[in-house]
Amino acid sequence: MNTNLLWLIPTLPFAGFLLNGTLGRKLPRAAVSAIALLFTLAPALIVADLWIYMKSAAAPLAISVTSRPWIAITGFQVNFAFAVDHLTLIMLAVVTGVGFLIHIYSAGYMAHEEGYWRFFAYLNLFMFFMLVLVLSSSFLLLFVGWEGVGLASYLLIGFYFTKDSAAKAGKKAFVVNRIGDFGFLLAMFLLIQHFGSLDFGTVFSKISATPITGGFLTTIALLLVLGAAGKSAQIPLYIWLPDAMEGPTPVSALIHAATMVTAGIYMIARCHTLFDRSPYALGVVACIGAATALMAATIGMVQHDIKRVLAYSTVSQLGYMFMACGVGAYGAGIFHLMTHAFFKALLFLSAGSVIHALSGEQDMRVMGGLRKRIPITFWCMTMGVFAIAGIPPLAGFFSKDEILYQTFLWDNPLAKLLWAVGLFTAFLTSFYMFRLWFKTFFGAPRFEEHGPSHAPDLHAAHGAAVHASKSSTLTLEAEHDSAHAHGVHESPLVMTLPLMILAILSIIGGWVGVPLAFGGHNEIEHFLGPVFNPTEHVAEHIATRSAEPILATISVLTAALGFFVAYFFYYRKPGTAAALAQKFQPIYSLLDHKYWVDEIYGLVIVAPLLMVSRFFLGGIVEAGLVQGTSATLAGTTRGAGSIVRRMQSGNIRSYAGWLAIGAAAVIAIVLFTH
């Protein structure tokens, strides 16, 4: 294994970005997608090779490559350096693997969109920065990737930049992320001040070597949490993620579900040495995670936009991962990160397929009955829904159960409370996912046909209605400039193939973490063991797992309860939910308005800031100070000029006079200074 191959992993997508970004406009679509896919597949293959190498017994626990110094000043140096250990390996596999699948899907999904080349250039740019982020072995290079994925996210959320809401959502994501980045930057400054280095190895070994706890370490940890909360959409900075759904659906799947938003969790896991020294910061992480999980899940219950439900679900699941990190179960957090990447990417892509089938419709109130019309999408999405709801033996069950179990065992008075919150969230998750499932795929179709359908099971009456209105729909279709407005149809293979692969991954993805209590080996725990507890033997703390089967049974029952409630509300008695909403109007409207968080932020933060900008900065500083100063300066200069310009009369003899006076002055100076 040539370690220099590590450089290639991020560089290849960057090359793809450059190619598509500069030449893409002139290339045919097939060539654009071929370039993008090739430059994403190649890193995936390198990662696979790397994986095989690292799995072999002889391999070191971590490999690294370092280039020449990047920043070198007295007493402080940062290199371009990459390192791969088992944690990075999992992230690499998820990013390149899921990333490649989503690239394939995008080739089909975006086929009719304007700016095809731009889309793929941005996607490859994102891959580049994300790979830099996970590969870097210093805070600074990680920050480069961190900012870079933020940029790519901004560009892709605002991909339909002519749409006002999309442009605004991109801006919102960027600004909210800046708040988190501010925390990250301060944390880096503190690290430089206290450790004189930003290299992971140096910083962490220094922390391990000295018995310091709390104090500035807590400050650093909390600032890092702020950064992570921004990137991973946690309270109080989660507000950008639901709006980020304005981007194309593959983007939501790749960036806002599977990879970028997990960067915060990755960062916390990466800095576990630091967090382990600060129980207070860990407690904050756990509480933020639990609160976000619960809050987002409750909002997700009442959303009507299929992508928004998934967005809040993502926020909620990220909260789970945060909670896992907070209780010190980093392995469980990363495990859930991986399974979540599989099933959430699957859910988003399936949702994209549904939206594609309905020619851009995202509102679940006008879906329904799609089960037989788009069967492949239906079955794939079913796997995703079951996986996220925590139905065994699908992926989500094992990872979520591991998190709940570790939370239960947490050595903290809050442990049981957080566990209960997690369990309740699991119920809500199951409920809103099955709500989505039933509303989309079951019941009577609530959408209007856009044209002759290819589906064989069309109801006769419905078909007649379609034929009766055929002439009018044809004109409608002509007005509809979307190229795929031709009835409900299953997506092409290029889109369904990634769905099927992800569905299989969503089923089997959790099997690497089957706990001992169920006869598994919890391989992922062993795999990550060297990263998270290099001294401790993993086997020791697995031995005490007697409570696990009971807890697992409880969470399965919870998931089942969620299913039955959703079944009852949205399948058996579809009116019940609306009646309940009517009955508990205040609660419903609270949830429907997302706790008015956007409005509160607008009132408490944005409005005062705007006031300050407009009246203090704009009125006093800008108009008074800045413009006043420059006006005074300009006036003085002009006044001086109007005096001096009298010398320049245009009269040759006056010039000659000045010349003579000047010459006389020079002679006088020469004479009298000697």
Q: Which residues bind another protein (CB under 8 A)?
A: 650-653, 656-657, 660
| Residue 119 CA from chain centroid, whole number | 17
Among candidate residues 409, 419, 431, 362, the one with its CA nearest the CA of residue 547 = 409
CB atoms within 10 A of CB 252: 29
Q: Where are the alpha helices (DSSP H) in 158-262?
A: 164-195, 200-209, 216-231, 240-243, 249-253
Task: Write the DSSP assignment of 478-506 as a string of letters.
Answer: HH---TT-SSS-PPPHHHHHHHHHHHHHH
Provide the token pair at 143: 């920050």
Question: In this complex, which beta carbon is closest to another protein, that of residue 456 or of residue 650?
Answer: 650
| Residue among 68 and 653 whose Cβ is closer to another protein | 653
Residue closer to another protein (CB basis): 607 or 667: 667
Phi, psi of 38 (to 5 degrees): -60, -45
CA 527 to chain centroid = 25
Residue pointed to by tokens 């993805």: 509
Q: CB of residue 651 vs another protein: minimum separation in angstroms?
A: 8
Amino acid at residue number 513:
G
Given the complex with another protein, which of 66 and 654 has the nearer CB atom? 654
Instruction: Decide: 532 and 393 in contact? Cβ < 8 Å.
Output: no
Contacts of 316 (CB under 8 A, 6+ apart): 292, 293, 294, 296, 297, 300, 425, 428, 429
> Could you tell me the smallest distance in angstroms from the CB atom of residue 657 to another protein?
5
Identify which of residues 60 and 657 has a Cβ nearer to another protein in the complex: 657
The least CB distance from residue 643 to another protein, in Å, is 20
* 543 vs 652, beta carbon nearer another protein: 652
- Residue 623 or residue 663: which is nearer to another protein going by CB? 663
Q: Which is nearer to another protein, 2 or 651 (CB)?
A: 651
The SS3 assignment for 558 reads helix
β-pair partners for 82: 65, 136
Shortest distance (Å) from residue 671 CB to another protein: 12
Name residue 69's beta-bridge partners.
Answer: 79
Q: Which is nearer to another protein, 583 or 645 (CB)?
A: 645
Q: How far apart are CA 254 and CA 229, in angstroms?
A: 19
Tally of residues, the chain: 674
Q: How far is the CB of 665 from another protein (least distance, A)?
A: 14
Measured from the CB atom, the residue of 68 and 646 that comes closer to another protein is 646
To the nearest whole angstrom, how small is the minimum distance from the Cβ of residue 638 to another protein? 21
CB 451 within 8 A of CB 487: yes
Cα–Cα distance, 636 to 618 (Å, whole number): 24
The encoded tokens of residue 542 equal 């697995």
Full DSSP string of 340-358: HHHHHHHHHHHHHHHHHHT
135 residue type, one letter: L
CA triplet 442, 444, 446: central angle to 5 degrees? 105
Considering the complex, what minimum distance in angstroms separates the CB of residue 656 from another protein?
6
Report how far residue 99's alpha carbon sits from residue 93's, in angstroms, rounded to the nearest whole number.
9
Nearer Cβ to another protein, position 639 or 657? 657
d(C-alpha 117, C-alpha 163), whole Å: 19
Tokens 């994925």 found at: 149
